Amino acid sequence: ITTVAIKSIDGPADGAELRDFLQEIKIMSYIKPHPFLVSMIGSCCSDEGDTREMWLIIEYCPHGDLKNYLIENKKQILSGNEQDMINDRCLIYWAYEISKGMEYLAANKIMHGDLAARNVMLDDSPIQPGRLVAKVADFGLSKQLNTGYVYEKQDRVYVPWKWMAFEYLTSDYFTMTSDVWSFGVVLWEIFSCGRTPYGHQDFNDILTLLEDPTYKLPCH
C-alpha cells in the first residue's frame, strides 16, 4: 500500500485548463525519478465523454510545502542546535537540494517556469531519519525547450510575477536560464523564513525597482 497525492482539475476538464493539465502530465511523464523532484506515479481519467475528469497521481510529501513549513517552524529552525535534525543548517540543505533538482531539469532541457517556495515540497529523508528533504514540484507552467531555448508568452494572463525573470516581465519570453532568477527569489524566501518577496508592492513599482541594476531584495 502506497500513500499518494492526487492533483485534479476542479470540475470537468476543458479548454486551456485541460491543455495546461495535459502539458503537466506530459512533462512529468518525461522526467525520470530524481531524489529532489516530486515524481509522477501515474495519471487517469473518467470515461464520461465531454465531461470527463482527470487525475495526476504523484508522490506524497507528508510535511507540505516549504513556504508554510518555514513560517510555521521558524522558531524551531532558528533555535535548533547542532544535534537537532531541524536547525538553521537545514536552510542550506534545502537550498542545495532545490538547486540539484533544478540542475537536473535544465540538463533535460525543461524550464520549470514557476519555481517558488510554495512549489517545493518536504519529504522524509530515506537515509537520515528525522531529516527533511526538499523536492521541486508543480510543473503546471513547465516547458520543454528542445529548439531555440526560448519560450514566448502566448495567452497566459495570471502569472506569479514576483518570481518571474526580468526578461519575462519586460518582453514576455523565457529562456533556459530564466529559472535562475526564480531560484534567487527562492533563496530569499528560505533565508527570510517564508516572507513574501517585495511585500505588498504592486507590479509597476517592482518593475521600476528592477530596472535599476543596483537594486536587491532587502535582507531581513
Q: Report helix angle 178-191 to 89-107, nearest 10.
A: 170
- The partner residues of 121 in beta bridges, in order of sequence, read 65, 135
Distances in whole angstroms, Cα of residue 151 to Cα of each of 61, 82, 114, 170, 178: 31, 44, 14, 14, 10
Q: Which residue has the higher pLDDT, 47 or 189?
A: 189
Question: Tell me, what's the pLDDT at 155?
Answer: 46
Residue 146 predicted with pLDDT over 70: no
The mean pLDDT value for 94-101 works out to 98
Q: With contact defined as beta carbons under 8 Å apart, do 58 and 113 qualify? A: no
Q: What is the pLDDT of residues 16-37, one digit of tens each?
A: 778 888 889 999 999 999 999 9
Question: Tell me, what's the pLDDT at 201?
Answer: 86
Instruction: Give the CA radius of gyration of the chain.
Output: 18
Residue 107 predicted with pLDDT over 60: yes
Question: Tell me, what's the pLDDT at 92?
Answer: 97
- Sign of the Cα torsion 133, 114, 8, 32 reads negative
Q: Which residues contact 78 (CB under 8 A, 6 or more apart)?
A: 88, 193
Residues identified as active-site: 114
If residue 193 lies in a helix (H) or strand (E), which one and from where to where? Answer: none
Instruction: Specify the range with the lowest mean pLDDT, choosing from 57-66, 99-108, 110-119, 156-165.
Output: 156-165
**Can you give the pTM of this predicted structure?**
0.89
